[in-house]
Chain A
Amino acid sequence: MIDSGSPLLSVEHVTVSFDGYTALDDLSFALASGAVHVLIGPNGAGKSTLLDTIIGRVRPASGRIVFKGNDLRAVPEYAIVRLGVCRKFQTPGVLDALTIEENLRVAVTQNRGAWHAFRAKPTAAERTRVDEVLAIIGLAERRNALAAELAHGMRQWLEIGMVVASDADLLLLDEPAAGMTHGEAEATARLIRSLAGRHAVIVIDHDMDFVEQLDAPVSVLNMGRMLAHGSVDEIRRNPDVAAVYLGRPREGDVAGR
């Protein structure tokens, strides 16, 4: 499937602009299969735009995105997902009119054609996967409740569960711990760590405590460009990052807390 050595995802010199505002500026980035990677950066740095571009919601003005050897530029959004990319949005996008179990069933089904959906019965593997994910996100007891009835944190988990259930090779998680309590965020970090190896994951977050728990390499985006790569500690000690985050000139070791 994938040549050893070639990355699962490579973003090559991608530029995206909205009405003259350059959201991504000649950005390049690569990710190997099964790797977890964190993206941080101030508001407007282009983190969400990068995910939007990978998933096909935004199309690059120049440059290209290659996933498993496929150039994604001309692939429709739904077909990108079928190639194996699944995204959790910043505002939870669960399917409110469906039950929790039905949400996961929609996500877990691999044959997503309309004709197939008429007679689709979940396969044994799909049923098992739904049960597994229900157990992981702790919603097994409430599987028949409507998604609309869930509290915010639970909605976040359901959506993470849907992304996991899709069994995509690349999971894009936009602020997965936003609005969660400390305990919930810890559990989310544990869940993401457990995904490594089976799925490649890109996580966007602001919260450095949460990022630290992910124990993964970090890239810092600023003004549509990559500012720095490194471990959480290295990023904390990086004076450029500190300058960007704190809005003041380099003062050495100020980013650490």
Chain B
Amino acid sequence: MIRRELGLVLVLVAAACAPLYLPAYELSLLGRFLALAVLAMGISLIWGTGGILSLGQGVFFGLGGYAVAMHLKLASADPGAVPDFMQWSGLNTLPWWWTPFGNPAFAIAAAVIIPGTAAAALAYLVFRRRVTGSYFAIITQALALAATTFIISQQQYTGGFNGLTGFTSAFGFALGDQRTQFGLYWVTVGIVAVTFVAVRALQGSLFGKVLLAVRDGENRVRFLGYDPLPFKVIAFAIAGVLAGVAGALVTLDLGVISPAMFGVVPSIEMVIWVAVGGRNSLLGAIVGTLIVNFGKDWISSVFPDLWLHVVGAVFVLVVTVAPRGIVGLMQSVRTRSLRLRPVTPPALVE
């Protein structure tokens, strides 16, 4: 166990030092993909541990992204003026619900609280009716479609299809500055580390054990005196918060948030990252996110039209050949090689 913890610390140090040895482009990709890994760990929690498949995590990602983007938009506009896209739509006064986003602390808090609350509300309404499994997945998928359609239709308030972009500074730091990029990268690495430790602790707690039991049989848990509803709602809200945090970080990194970044297709891709890495493993969620996204970047630059086909094929391959993902494959390889020499059996609980 100590060796494993040491390995994680070494990975963390290597990641923190990446600005020293990675070219600027790769570093910015790594930062963005690590931000996505925060969302992926949320999927691992609800899907791997809780058995809840959500095809709509993009919605919470988008809510976090827009919360931050609204602040950046206001900060970039001339004092007293409304953001440019509102002017183009003939809107001359700022809508009341935009106003508080001028406060940076409010915007950051909103990027966490709004996705979390939305996720909790959705989970409560649906799970209370004892709707589960693929029905829930379909509902979340529909939600992703509805959310993007709605945002595109409200162009004067949301920037529509183009989303929110054209920011100059973020919380007092110039966005183009390399130091800002480094700072954002380190913040991202820190959030990934904290998320990893926190979610792992959650999985090891009684809460995590009951959630795992809910995955395998909700009724059995009920007849042991536990109400599955709050367990599922809390887990889903945590995943919503993590998606919102990822959305905020990616928006800061890319300088844009738009419906194309969190609609139906991106929401499905998010699940694929976790499936590829191994949904039962937090580390798998991170590894899967990095591998699939770096693969996407590489393939899209070489064969621009091929990406969707590749990701589809990879998903089919994972589901049929390696349902436990890359981490599952590595574990079975290791147990096979371990069988050759006498060893003490690995502990099942940490």
Contacts and interface: CB of A to CB of B under 8 A. Distances in A.
Contact of A78 (B206, B213, B217, B225): B225
A97 B347 contact: no
Nearest to A149: B348
Secondary structure call for the A interface: mixed
A117 B225 contact: no
Contact of B348 (A57, A81, A117, A146): A146
Instruction: Identify the interface centre among A57, A117, A145: most chain B CB within 10 Å of its CB.
Output: A117
A95 interface: yes
Nearest to B228: A78
Interface range, A side = 35 or more
B210 interface: yes
Interface string A152-170: 0000000000100010000
Contacts of A146: 348
Contacts of B219: 57, 77, 93
B226 A112 contact: yes
Contacts of A99: 348-349
B205 interface: yes
A93 B348 CA distance: 21
Interface in A49-105: 55, 57, 76-79, 81-82, 86-87, 89, 93, 95-99, 102, 105
A140 to B, nearest CB: 16
B215 interface: yes
A113 B233 CA distance: 13
A109 interface: yes
Interface in B200-220: 202, 205-207, 209-210, 212-213, 215-217, 219-220
A130 to B, nearest CB: 13
Instruction: Identify the interface centre among A95, A146, A162: most chain B CB within 10 Å of its CB.
Output: A95
Contacts of B2: none
A114 B209 CA distance: 11
A109 B221 CA distance: 13
B224 to A, nearest CB: 6
Contacts of B220: 89, 93, 95
Contacts of A21: none
B230 A98 contact: no
A76 B209 contact: no
B231 interface: yes
Nearest to A95: B213
Interface string B218-242: 0111111111001100100000000
A120 interface: yes
A107 B348 contact: no
B222 A78 contact: yes
A19 to B, nearest CB: 21
A114 B224 contact: no
Contacts of A55: 223
Nearest to A83: B225
A89 B224 CA distance: 11
Given A95-B216, A146-B348, A120 B206 contact: yes
Contacts of B215: 97
Contacts of A18: none
Contacts of B347: 144
A113 B225 contact: no
A145 B348 CA distance: 7
A119 interface: yes
Given A105-B206, A119-B205, A120-B206, A114 B349 contact: no
A98 B223 contact: no
Contacts of B230: 113-115
A87 B206 contact: no
Contacts of B209: 95, 98, 102, 105-106
Contacts of A97: 212-213, 215-216
A114 B235 CA distance: 10
Contacts of A113: 230
Contacts of A76: 227
Interface string B232-275: 00100000000000000000000000000000000000000000
Contacts of B216: 95-97
Contacts of A98: 209, 212-213
Contacts of B349: 99, 102, 144
Interface in A202-236: none
B213 A93 contact: no
Contacts of B207: 114, 117-118, 120
A76 B221 CA distance: 13
Nearest to B234: A114
A81 B221 CA distance: 10
Q: Which 4 A-B pairs have the closest CB atoms?
A: A81-B225, A114-B230, A117-B207, A95-B213
Interface of B: 202, 205-207, 209-210, 212-213, 215-217, 219-227, 230-231, 234, 347-349
Given A96-B216, A106-B210, 20 more contacts: A77-B219, A81-B224, A81-B225, A89-B223, A93-B223, A95-B220, A95-B221, A97-B215, A99-B348, A106-B206, A106-B221, A107-B224, A112-B226, A114-B207, A114-B226, A114-B234, A117-B210, A118-B207, A119-B205, A162-B224
15 contacts: A76-B227, A78-B227, A81-B222, A86-B225, A87-B223, A93-B220, A95-B213, A105-B206, A106-B221, A114-B230, A114-B231, A117-B231, A119-B205, A120-B205, A120-B207
